[in-house]
Structure 1
Amino acid sequence: MTQLESPGVEASAKRTLSGSLGATAIVFMVVAAASPLTVIGGAAPLGILLGNGAGFPALYAISAVILLLFAVGLAAMSRHIPKPGAFFTYVGYGLGRSNGLAAAWLAMLTYTTIQVSVYGYIGFILSYTLETYTAVALPWWLFSLLVIGLVGILGYRHIDLSSKVLGVLLIAEVGVVAVLVAAVVFSGGADGLSLAPFEPANVVSGSPGVGLMFAIAAFIGFEATAIFRDEAKDPDKTIPRATYMAVIGIGLFYTLASWGLVMAWGPDAVLDEAAADPGSLILRTMAAYLGATGEIITNVLLITSMFACVLSFHNVVTRYQHSMAAAGVLPDKLASVHHAHLSPHVSSVVQTGTSVVLIAVFALFQLDPVLAVFTWFAGVATLAIAILMALTSVAVIVYFVKTRKDTRLWNTILAPGLGFLGLVLSAALIIAYFPIMVGDVDAEGAPVFGGLSWFLLALVVVFPVAGYLQAAWIKARRPAAYAKLTDSIAA
């Protein structure tokens, strides 16, 4: 970290993060945000039930291809933009300051909503587990608040501590799922092993738009590798390498694991099993193939998986806030770095407070932690991230066309262009099927855009609009600060 030239400035006011995270450590951070066991145990059963049934595993593969195309442009951009703001920084450099601020607020919506959705789910799981084994019933939101407190403590400290905790938890949850898949393969599954989940008829069955929403949601976090640029060792190599490792690893793992889940019950029976109780499908599968011990271990790891998820997203959000504060679009205090922990400690405290307030509001309105808090806000986050990545793809193309800093056609135009098309189509499908996810359907189960659907979708519009208005205000009232944004988020 560069030392401050003025001895009168306290160390806590340092604005630059530092560290020596390697590609593997960063991958642990972002893959933990994807929360492998939470996805296979929580999102995959819902994707099967509400999405396209036995064809759901194919959507992970499709999502991986789309996001890998997007990652090509993201990696190219990270080599030429030596700043940790990721989406909002890249959009600012490619499409200008106003679009950059709009992207910043859309990113904040994405990561805040996905984080709070998992806080709701982990609160439910902890409450359910306690009541199941001890008959003691406590409200879900109490456990959510306890988890927020623990995450806040870890997020306040140095990033290396969080990466070590996430690494251990990630290895454990990936390991138990791998053992399950191996058990299914060696036993031959319920009806024999097949590629039925990848047959076109199964892929397009049911509500593929809802299934695609759950599939893309499983990848949220991989793109945040650039957020850790200031804390990476040799970032020009580490960040692109970590980005590719994350999206390829996540795609292969989810596709294989969800295929194993379908094979465990059989393509014809898995939908009925998911309908019986999607929340317990992974535990019942573990019990059937690995016995009671496997079920108990999985239950414990499901809780730690969700904890790893919220810890990782907490780190991502605090660094987004830190980058935005350094750019002058959030209060300057959020750009502070702790003198001992070298962490964005003020930003971490603010993010902890935000989560507490949101959980308190959800508890006050007596929202269901899974069917409302988790499902609704995971849907908002997924749509927002698809739009955000599509916008970033355009920014990548425009930036390299204007600057000619990288003339590789595939990396700077073709791959980002194909990624953009895939993301736009994905966003359109998610919007079309969004009412099904929140329960706005008619008597026949067809999607109907009601008040709840419009309210949640409006969030994806309101936040970037706030960014545009903020840009206009800064330009009119603080022209010097607006000019400073040129060095922070725009070329």
Structure 2
Amino acid sequence: MTEVITPSGGGSAGPQAAAPPAGRLADQALGLPSVLFCIVTGAAPLTAMLFNVPVAVQGGGYAAPAAFLIATVALTIFSVGYIAMSRRVTSAGGFYTFVSRGLGRVAGAGAGLLIGLCYIIFVAAVVGVMGYFAATSVQTWTGIELPAWLYMAIGLAVMSALAWFHIELTAKVLGVMLVGEVLALLVLSVAVLVRGGAEGLSLAPFNPAAVFGNPSAISVFGSAASGVALFAAFWSWVGFEMAPNYAEESRDPNRIAKIATYGSVIGLGLFYMLCSYAYVAGWGLEGSVKAVSDQFSGVFASAFYPLSDRYVGHWLTTVIELLAVTSSFACAMAFYNTGARYLFALGRERVLPSVLARTSSRHSPAVASMTVTVLVALYGLGFVLYDPSTEGALLKLGTWSPLLGVLGILAVQALVCAAIIRYFLTTARDGFNWFSTLVAPIIGGAAMVGACWLLVANRATLAGAADVPFITLLPWLVAAMFVAGMVIAVVMRTRNPARYAGLGHFTLADPELDRVELHRPKHAAN
């Protein structure tokens, strides 16, 4: 039987609050700031700028800020319907629950397994980026040369340790790291703008048309493609949709999900546009593309470092080098948490082994978290064996893996758009709105499908490897993960119809029951 727990209003749970039942996460553990920290650190603003702006410039030239503008608009429109759905369906299952409610349990199980594995792949990818920045920075500071995989192992071990504690501790750790990286980027951006950049301040970088066939990018990189720039932009937001995954641990799930989602999408969009514009202005329109070429050639570790040297001072460069490591760690930790919650939700509903739904004494998804650790370690080990070099941690594990993860997430987001439309046309007709639950999901879904097509078409350019099986088979790997989840659901429907009936239907606020539940006493048993 589906368990329905009435969400209670603001205020934190007191020391005498009842412990969550088995298979439940810590109740009322997170307020709005904590949820925002968990979400925004998943986007990792500093890592996104150091890693993704050069990729966006490779495809869109000096118009990289316009690529972030396009992504901001597309994801904001997507969020309209997403928030409408999250107000009705509140569960740690996130996308899995949404697709199950809108498109059925079979499609939901496919989406759940795909999205859970994508987040685990993201953890491995960002751990690789962290290992690269840690190895290069430590060598620069001390002359000690240690392999990137050693730093990767240390980082994963620390994440695993934090996962055993109450989620609020992780949120505080992520919050401290987030504040540091945002301040560093703001200092650099303001310094560039105040000093007028290399050639003065121009509005040309914000022209969306300039993203497509940008002459400066083509002159340096050859057949530059808009898909490269847009991939880098969309990849920078991965994790913005995490708010519903923390619903069971939030003090006011509906309000927090809305504010946190809009705040992360729009806030990050404005911040990314500012920082990418400061990068372009700091180097100049043509110089910004040449600087990326120099970075890719190994002239410097990041095209941002000479900017901080020139416009602020070497002390800021050193700070950014340090924060690049902590930012990557925070990003990986946020993905780690979300991946664990997807495994937890899938285990609770028996799509995956039920042991994944066991929690620690502090009500963290302990078994699911340790499973993420094992999967990340095995996945990362495969890449390390393929290329153990420090550069391989960035250019292979850190570059190839996000292509797989982003493609999977964009595909599931398109499915979510379809699920929102069907859900409000059938199950929740009283909540139907012509814009938020129809037009916005149609536009958002079309944007996600278009982004998927651009990523697939340009995957060889993005990876820098045309004939590697991992890259050529990329779309089929995504399809295989989705089909595997569907097969699990079909088998369950045949062998255990009662269990199948509960797939995707664990929720804190079920629209069919909330009218009754909201009038029950706060701590009433079900």
1:426 aligned onto 2:451: yes
Q: Corresponding residue for 2:435?
A: 410
**Equivalent residue for 2:75, pick from 57, 60, 67:** 67
1:252 aligned onto 2:277: no
Q: Corresponding residue for 1:14?
A: 22
Aligned-partner residue type, residue 416 of structure 1: P
User: Aligned equivalents of 1:485 and 1:363: distance in 2?
Assistant: 37
Q: Corresponding residue for 1:482?
A: 500
User: Aligned equivalents of 1:430 and 1:295: distance in 2?
Assistant: 32
1:123/1:369 contact within 8 Å kept:
yes
**1:136-147 correspondence runs (5 A):** 136-147=144-155
Q: Corresponding residue for 1:217?
A: 235
**Equivalent residue for 1:181, pick from 186, 189, 206:** 189
User: Aligned equivalents of 2:121 and 2:53: distance in 1?
Assistant: 19
Q: Which runs of 4+ in 1 moved over 3 A?
A: 449-452, 486-491
Aligned-partner residue type, residue 487 of structure 2: L
Q: 1:136 to 1:13 in 2, by over 3 A?
A: farther
| Cα deviation, residue 300, structure 1 | 0.8
SS at match of 2:426: helix
Q: Corresponding residue for 1:460?
A: 478
**Equivalent residue for 1:313, pick from 315, 325, 335:** 335
**Equivalent residue for 2:282, pick from 244, 264, 284:** 264
Q: Corresponding residue for 1:126?
A: 134
| Cα deviation, residue 294, structure 1 | 0.8
2:308/2:317 contact within 8 Å kept:
yes
| Cα deviation, residue 199, structure 1 | 2.8
Aligned-partner residue type, residue 433 of structure 1: N
Q: Corresponding residue for 2:377?
A: 356
431-440 vs 379-388, which moves further: 431-440
1:213/1:383 contact within 8 Å kept:
no
Q: Which has the higher helix share?
A: 1
1:12/1:337 contact within 8 Å kept:
no
1:105/1:467 contact within 8 Å kept:
yes
% identical aligned pairs: 34
User: Aligned equivalents of 1:130 and 1:440: distance in 2?
Assistant: 29
- Structure 2's unaligned 5+ residue stretches are 6-18, 215-223, 513-526
1:40 aligned onto 2:49: yes
Q: 1:13 to 1:146 in 2, by over 3 A?
A: farther
User: Aligned equivalents of 1:486 and 1:253: distance in 2?
Assistant: 35
1:117/1:377 contact within 8 Å kept:
yes
User: Aligned equivalents of 1:46 and 1:198: distance in 2?
Assistant: 17
User: Aligned equivalents of 1:300 and 1:113: distance in 2?
Assistant: 24
1:286 aligned onto 2:277: no
Give the TM-score, by structure 2 length. Answer: 0.87
Q: 1:259 to 1:356 in 2, by over 3 A?
A: same
User: Aligned equivalents of 2:415 and 2:253: distance in 1?
Assistant: 24
1:222/1:247 contact within 8 Å kept:
yes
Aligned-partner residue type, residue 216 of structure 1: F
Q: Deviations over 1:5-60 (max 9, x none)?
A: xxxxxx897211123312222111111000000011111112212x1111111111
The alignment yields a C-alpha RMSD, in angstroms, of 1.8
Q: 1:201 to 1:84 in 2, by over 3 A?
A: closer
User: Aligned equivalents of 2:277 and 2:244: distance in 1?
Assistant: 31
Q: Corresponding residue for 1:435?
A: 460
Size of the alignment, in residue pairs?
474
**Equivalent residue for 1:295, pick from 312, 317, 330:** 317
| Cα deviation, residue 216, structure 1 | 0.3
Q: Corresponding residue for 1:346?
A: 367
| Cα deviation, residue 450, structure 1 | 6.3
384-393 vs 202-211, which moves further: 202-211
Aligned-partner residue type, residue 30 of structure 2: L
Q: Deviations over 1:93-144 (max 9, x none)?
A: 0000000001011202321122111111111111112222222222111110
SS at match of 2:503: helix
**1:197-212 correspondence runs (5 A):** 197-200=205-208, 202-204=210-212, 205=214, 206-212=224-230
| Cα deviation, residue 407, structure 1 | 2.5
User: Aligned equivalents of 2:252 and 2:280: distance in 1?
Assistant: 41
1:396 aligned onto 2:417: no
1:31 aligned onto 2:55: no
Q: Deviations over 1:176-209 (max 9, x none)?
A: 1011111011100000011121235531123110
| Cα deviation, residue 361, structure 1 | 1.7
Give the TM-score, by structure 1 length. Answer: 0.93
Q: Deviations over 1:334-354 (max 9, x none)?
A: 111222x22111111111121
| Cα deviation, residue 454, structure 1 | 2.2
1:58/1:198 contact within 8 Å kept:
yes
User: Aligned equivalents of 1:262 and 1:410: distance in 2?
Assistant: 36
Q: Corresponding residue for 2:108?
A: 100
